[in-house]
Amino acid sequence: MNKASEVRLINLGKKFGEVEAVKDVNLTIERGDFFTFLGPSGCGKTTLLRMIAGFTRPDQGTILFDGVEVNDIPPWKRDVGMVFQSYALWPHLSVFENVAFGLKERNLPKAVVQEKTLRALSMVNLEGLERRRPSELSGGQQQRVALARTLVIEPRLLLLDEPLSNLDAKLRIQMRQELVRIQRDLGITSIYVTHDQEEALTLSTRIAVMSKGHVVQVGSPKEIYENPKSQEVADFVGTSNFFSGSVVEELKDKLRVRTEEGVMLAVERQPELPLGIGSNLLLNIRPESFRISDADEVSSGENRVEGVVKTSAYLGSLVQYEVEVSGGKRVKVNLVNPRKKSLLREGERVSLTFSSEDVIAIPFGR
């Protein structure tokens, strides 16, 4: 099982009446990628995936598998496997028969069907459950059957549409790890659809962030999280604290920016930022970037903002605070490992300190 394809999408578009579900998508999904389409509900993820599978016909553009156009090839001849959110198992067939179905359809000898089916079941850790019916399995086990049934036919491309969304939180995390393991073992090019940013960040080699039918940014999880190119991406992936401001001073490797609230911030200079006094910037500080200290404590951070704790939520591994800073603006602050620190009370005055490297700058107008 080590066929893996490269997929190229060129100017791909699809309308449903007036609704432009997918607009001008250009992407290359490389061999062995675990590639994720990430975006809010209705942004066109499923439509894009179904066009790659062949279930939906594009109005515009080209789909290439290993350089060969597949636009006119029906789904069953594209050699792709798709796992749906609903699993779509056959209730009257056993686990073994569900998985073996695609092989039997191909008229393979019985011994080959037996061997391949058992191998696929072992890959998803379902040995011993061959005789059960889907109704006698947990959600996670049903999900594994759906995956084994898709993998057994050794497709050159694995398409997964929110396959973990019906599982509870713990199982979802366990299945994520399983999926990554199986995908890496097989080296199969996989395209995954989700609106869950954490899932996208943990699973993917690369992510395409989608909004209203468009791909708005493509990159590794680290690039997408640490260097979002627009407010939209920063806002959708992770939690953000935005400040808009303008450059008041240019230093050798830093810019000093005054925000609308009158807060002065030091920002790392980057080649892609507009330079010059008066240039407008949007700044983003992630909640985990702040250190929190008493207002009187001397701080070594380059940036320091004073504020008052307004709300706190204890989540065990971290505490989430909302701190009101000047101009009445509320900033989200996460304090990890709260066991080691004393908790802050609502109404308490604090200083937030953070490095200039933790300020993500987004040029305005993008």
Ligand X SMILES: Nc1ncnc2c1ncn2[C@@H]1O[C@H](COP(=O)(O)OP(=O)(O)OP(=O)(O)O)[C@@H](O)[C@H]1O
Amino acid at 224: I
Is residue 36 close enough to count as binding ligand X by CB under 6 A?
Answer: no
Per-residue x/- mask for Mg ion, residues 85 to 124, rule CB under 5 A? ----------------------------------------
- In angstroms, give the least distance from the CB of 32 to ligand X: 25
Q: Smaller CB distance to ligand X: residue 32 or 44?
A: 44
Q: Which 172-211 positions form the footprint of Mg ion (CB under 5 A)?
A: none
Strand partners, 60: 13
Q: Smaller CB distance to ligand X: residue 12 or 118?
A: 12
DSSP string spanning 146-209?
A: HHHHHHTT--SEEEEESTTTTS-HHHHHHHHHHHHHHHHHHT-EEEEEES-HHHHHHH-SEEEE
Angle of helix 95-105 relative to helix 139-151, nearest 10 degrees, comes to 20
Strand partners, 360: 284
Joined together, the tokens standing for residue 100 give 């073996």
Is residue 44 close enough to count as binding ligand X by CB under 6 A?
Answer: yes
Joined together, the tokens standing for residue 171 give 């199982």
**Candidate residues 46, 143, 183, 284; the one interacting with Mg ion per rule CB under 5 A:** 46
Is residue 214 close enough to count as binding ligand X by CB under 6 A?
Answer: no
Backbone φ and ψ for 165, nearest 5 degrees, come out as -70, -15
User: For the chain, how long is the longest CA-to-CA vector?
Assistant: 78
**Candidate residues 46, 143, 190, 334; the one interacting with ligand X per rule CB under 6 A:** 46
Q: Smaller CB distance to ligand X: residue 41 or 337?
A: 41
Is residue 327 close enough to count as binding ligand X by CB under 6 A?
Answer: no
Q: Smaller CB distance to ligand X: residue 165 or 227?
A: 165
Is residue 197 close enough to count as binding ligand X by CB under 6 A?
Answer: no
- Interface residues toward ligand X, by CB under 6 A: 16, 19, 21, 39, 41-47, 195
